[in-house]
Amino acid sequence: MLSMKGISIKDIAKQAGVSPTTVSFVLNGKAKEKRISEQVSKKIQKIASRLKYKPNQLARGLRTGKTKTIGLIVEDIANNFFASLAKVMEDEADKHGYKVLYGSTEDNTEKAKGLLEVLKYRQVDAYIVTPTKNLDKEIEQLKATSKPVVLMDRYFPHVSSHYVVVDNYQGAYNVTSHLANQGYKKIAIVTITSDQIQMKDRLEGFTAALKDHHLPFNKSLVKKIPFELEREAFNTEIKKFLTSIKGLDAVFFATNYLGIYGIESIRSLGWEIGPQIGVASFDDHDLFRLHSPSITCVAQPITEIGKNIVEVLMQELNHPSASPRQIVLEPSVIVRASSDPGKK
Amino acid sequence: MLSMKGISIKDIAKQAGVSPTTVSFVLNGKAKEKRISEQVSKKIQKIASRLKYKPNQLARGLRTGKTKTIGLIVEDIANNFFASLAKVMEDEADKHGYKVLYGSTEDNTEKAKGLLEVLKYRQVDAYIVTPTKNLDKEIEQLKATSKPVVLMDRYFPHVSSHYVVVDNYQGAYNVTSHLANQGYKKIAIVTITSDQIQMKDRLEGFTAALKDHHLPFNKSLVKKIPFELEREAFNTEIKKFLTSIKGLDAVFFATNYLGIYGIESIRSLGWEIGPQIGVASFDDHDLFRLHSPSITCVAQPITEIGKNIVEVLMQELNHPSASPRQIVLEPSVIVRASSDPGKK
DNA sequence: AACAAATGCTATATCGATTTAGCCCAGCGT
DNA sequence: ACGCTGGGCTAAATCGATATAGCATTTGTT
């Protein structure tokens, strides 16, 4: 009750018998530089900590243009992959005194634009963006703002920007090769309708692996489903697809949610995962680990990704570099029973 | 590049040939009230939309004390339950023009205090808090700030505050009764070391159901595990516990992560879930739905919870009420094969 | 015609911090 | 005694918006 209004720099100045300017200098560690005496300096520090002074970030932000806030735009915060990443990034950002404002795009460009807009006039210092389809223009404009932007999970090949991603091509290639090595002969892929680089890379990794292993490939082995469908519709589509392929003996799902829907679909078809149909998914998930049979996947190094993103951001905030930092991390294939029935 | 600094109210004023005050009145819908002529009003509106003017939220916040930002403190944003809820709340808040700043406590009171501190000096307008053990004092202090606070998932019985929770007692009671009705005779519970109301209620609902069904109950049927353990340790503890009980034929896990660890543990013991040992968990999860056998659970109405929380918050922001809004929603038992082997 | 009331708009202070420019005084040299 | 230097501090402007008080000018009343 005493402090409904919060302690301001003026209150400290008054108590210390000095000007607000002096208080500001001292509390910003500029005492030496601004030649404030030890005495006064100590006194101010003491009063500030006694009053538990915390600078009003709005006022500071208004004056300095820095809000110590990062805007985070993900595809879907309810998705385990993004949520886990958000946690890591929150932790890392916190170490540097930054807070995170988040939003989900649902892979919808209009929503993404809206989020960027809002974050902009909330004056965030930097952006972490999982871009949607046509967000390239906005990203370029953002770059002109001189606020750091780091793309995650995907990027635009024709836009020079910072990004942290995994090697989607290699991940898909490796897991598909693994399926081939296990003896699966006719392998299909279920992905989402998206021209974005991460999906393109996964698809290309998949097809390259098929070619290298001299396995059949044609368009009928590829199913693209729109992101925005409901669960029911996903399952319907997947079942229709899987049953349409003669001799199909394995399938690769290109995202975690597709993997989940896929498992559900396959089971409702009554097929036996592993012996009858090999299954692999991109991204790991508790479900994949504990499903019976457990599901082979391409796991992304989430902690590493998150740490890298924030690290790049912090470096750019402190010393903007001329050239973009583009980090590609290696995902790892986790072989489980769905592609190797011998496994538990 | 043209607008590195952003458009301010002054720019509009200059172009319109009026004062900033007038512009502010018009753009805040006070044209009528402040008797600004239609002509001028229209002109200003036009210029504002041509320049795509967006008010600087920092400046506005500094002046008005309202930041249109909600502070969200959850236990763990990487946990499916909290992440899904965060998504719903973000959506709802967005409808009212609010953004969300989030943080995870890891059920650690010091972290929670730190988060409250940070959110406070970032001047959030309202708080949604999943409180930790000893956060009652801070919550009371927050109330004195006259910023709305809504607790979620749990609350303090001795603190009069707004909250939105589910009926944990009833949920636990119902699912335990269900186990009893299925013929399970010796039912144990695995919960976390926590005196907090939600865990207490779940435990009490559990024991009450045992009594009502004339099933044995004693302390050896209750296992409490500290939240902060690693996965390995959780599994070790759970296995030790389950194997220590003679004649055990069912177990109820009091949170989703305990359920997940529990499934893992039971399977590594080689026990057959369902016939040999009945299993149920609090909270639903993709894993529970798709596990073989599928896992019976007490599902919380996530969308409803999230909407209620934001609704209460908005009402309190608009017309603070004297009495606390305390909403208790009903969870539902979803019966699956882990407690009813007949089910698929 | 004289005065009151309404109309339409603006000057200025303010929120709480940072930053620039510069004041005052002591000590020093010559 | 005068100017110069540097130490120690502060006044005032500023960020961009909002809120208060009030100034002209027109309109209405009798």
Q: Note down the domain range covering A24.
A: 9-55
Q: How far apart are CA A184 and CA B159, in angstroms?
A: 62
CA–C1' B26–C6 (A): 20
pLDDT, position A133: 93
User: Is A344 among the domain residues?
Assistant: no
Do residues B134 and B217 share a domain? no
Strands (E), B116-234: 126-129, 149-152, 162-166, 187-192, 222-225
Distance from CA of A146 to the nearest CA of B (A): 8
Do residues A48 and A86 share a domain? no
pLDDT tens for B40-68 read 999 999 999 999 999 999 999 999 999 99
Answer yes or no: is pLDDT of A1 > 50.
Answer: no
CA–C1' A19–D6 (A): 21
User: Is A96 among the domain residues?
Assistant: yes
Ranking A190-194, A340-344, B287-291 by mean pLDDT, the lowest is: A340-344
pLDDT tens for B232-251 read 999 999 999 999 999 999 99
User: Is A60 among the domain residues?
Assistant: no
Residues of B whose CB is below 8 A from A57: 121-123
Do residues A315 and A283 share a domain? no
Answer yes or no: is pLDDT of B1 > 60.
Answer: no
Mean pLDDT of all residues belonging to chain B: 95
User: Is B37 among the domain residues?
Assistant: yes
User: Is A183 among the domain residues?
Assistant: yes
User: Is B20 among the domain residues?
Assistant: yes
Do residues B126 and B99 share a domain? yes
pLDDT tens for B120-157 read 988 999 999 999 999 999 999 998 888 999 999 999 99
Q: Say yes or no for a CB contact (<8 Å) between A78 and B100.
A: no
* 3-class secondary structure, A3: coil
What DSSP letter does each residue of A210-267 carry, written as one string?
HHHTT----GGGEEEE-TT--HHHHHHHHHHHHHTSTT--EEEESSHHHHHHHHHHHH
Which nucleotide has the least CA–C1' distance to B13? C10
pLDDT, position A143: 87
Do residues B182 and B270 share a domain? yes
User: Is B156 among the domain residues?
Assistant: yes
pLDDT, position A4: 55
- Who wins on pLDDT, A321 or A126? A126
Q: How far apart are CA A220 and CA B108, in angstroms?
A: 52
pLDDT tens for A70-123 read 999 999 999 999 999 999 999 999 999 999 999 999 999 999 999 999 999 899
Answer yes or no: is pLDDT of A126 > 60.
Answer: yes
pLDDT, position B144: 85
| pLDDT (average), residues A236-243 | 97
Answer yes or no: is pLDDT of B342 > 90.
Answer: no
Do residues B104 and B76 share a domain? yes
Q: How far apart are CA B327 and CA B75, in angstroms?
A: 20
Q: What is the CATH number of the domain that holds A16?
A: 1.10.260.40
Distance from CA of A104 to the nearest CA of B (A): 8
Strands (E), chain A: 69-74, 99-104, 126-129, 149-152, 162-166, 187-192, 222-225, 250-253, 278-282, 296-299, 326-329, 332-334
**DSSP annotation of B126:** E
- Across the interface, of B57, B77, B122, the residue whose CB is closest to A99 is B122
Whether omega for the bond prior to residue B216 falls within 30 degrees of 0, making it cis, is: no
Question: Is B63's CB less than 7 Å from nucleic acid strand C?
Answer: yes
Reported as a pLDDT band with limits 50, 70 and 90, residue B344 is low
Do residues B285 and B323 share a domain? no
Q: How far apart are CA A306 and CA A89, in angstroms?
A: 5
pLDDT, position A321: 87
Q: How far apart are CA B201 and CA B258, in angstroms?
A: 16
Q: How far apart are CA B20 and CA B16, in angstroms?
A: 10
- Across the interface, of A54, A83, A291, the residue whose CB is closest to B77 is A83
Do residues A29 and A83 share a domain? no
Do residues A158 and A306 share a domain? yes
pLDDT, position A175: 98
Quick one: closest CA in B to A99, which residue? B101
Number of domains in chain A: 3
| pLDDT (average), residues B290-303 | 96
Assess contact for B283 and B259: CB atoms under 8 A: yes
pLDDT, position A146: 85
Reported as a pLDDT band with limits 50, 70 and 90, residue B4 is low
- Those nucleotides of strand C lying less than 7 Å from any protein Cβ are 7-12, 14-21
Do residues B306 and B162 share a domain? yes
- Across the interface, of B59, B90, B117, the residue whose CB is closest to A103 is B90
Number of H helices, E strands in chain B: 13, 12
Answer yes or no: is pLDDT of A2 > 80.
Answer: no
Q: How far apart are CA B314 and CA B240, in angstroms?
A: 47
Reported as a pLDDT band with limits 50, 70 and 90, residue A179 is very high
Distance from CA of B216 to the nearest CA of A (A): 31
* 3-class secondary structure, B309: helix
Residues of B whose CB is below 8 A from A264: 289-290
Q: What is the CATH number of the domain that holds B234?
A: 3.40.50.2300
The two three-digit tokens of residue A111, written as one number: 């929503």
pLDDT tens for B90-122 read 999 999 999 999 999 999 999 999 999 999 988
Q: How far apart are CA A285 and CA B107, in angstroms?
A: 23
User: Is A200 among the domain residues?
Assistant: yes
Mean pLDDT of all residues belonging to chain A: 95
Do residues B30 and B178 share a domain? no
pLDDT tens for A37-64 read 999 999 999 999 999 999 999 999 999 9
Whether omega for the bond prior to residue A301 falls within 30 degrees of 0, making it cis, is: no
Among residues A156, A162, A175, the alpha carbon closest in space to that of A283 is found at: A175
pLDDT, position B2: 36
Reported as a pLDDT band with limits 50, 70 and 90, residue A341 is confident
Do residues A83 and A38 share a domain? no
pLDDT tens for A244-289 read 999 999 999 999 999 999 999 999 999 999 999 999 999 999 999 9
